[in-house]
Amino acid sequence: MNITHRAPMIHVPSYGLFWIAAIAAVLCLTSCGQGDPRNGVIISVKDQKMLLVHNGAPVKTYGVSTSKFGLGSRRGSLHTPLGRMEVARKIGSGAPSGAVFKSRRRTGEVIKVNAPGRDPIVSRIIWLRGKQSRNRNTYARYIYIHGTPEERNIGHPASYGCIRMKSRDIIDLYRQLAIGSGVNIIRRSLMHTNAGRDYAARNESYLPAAGN
DSSP readout, 166-212? -HHHHHHHHHHB-TT-EEEEESS-GGGSHHHHHHHHH-GGGSPPP--
The verdict on residue 167 lying in a domain is: yes
* CATH assignment at residue 62: 2.40.440.10
Residue numbers of the chain with a pLDDT score lower than 50: 12, 18-19, 21-31, 212
CA distance 138 to 153: 23
HSE at residue 211, side-chain half, CA atoms within 13 A, is 10
Q: How many CB atoms lie within 10 A of CB 58?
A: 24
The verdict on residue 211 lying in a domain is: no
In this prediction, residue 140 carries a pLDDT of 98
The verdict on residue 33 lying in a domain is: no
The verdict on residue 24 lying in a domain is: no
Q: How many residues does the chain have?
A: 212
The verdict on residue 177 lying in a domain is: yes
In this prediction, residue 31 carries a pLDDT of 44
In this prediction, residue 203 carries a pLDDT of 87
The verdict on residue 6 lying in a domain is: no
Per-residue pLDDT of 158-189, as tens digits, reads: 999 999 999 999 999 999 999 999 999 999 99
State the pTM of this model. Answer: 0.82
- In the three-class reduction of DSSP (H, G, I as helix; E, B as strand; rest coil), residue 146 is classed as strand
The verdict on residue 103 lying in a domain is: yes
Range of the domain at 106: 38-204
The verdict on residue 118 lying in a domain is: yes
β-strands 163-165, 144-147: how paired?
parallel
User: Burial of 165 by CB count in 10 Å (0-12 exposed, 13-18 middle, 19+ buried)?
Assistant: buried
Q: DSSP class of residue 38? A: T
- Closest C-alpha among 165, 142, 153 to residue 81: 142
- Closest C-alpha among 160, 2, 180 to residue 67: 160
In this prediction, residue 22 carries a pLDDT of 45
Per-residue pLDDT of 28-41, as tens digits, reads: 444 456 899 999 99
Query: Number of folded domains in the chain?
Result: 1
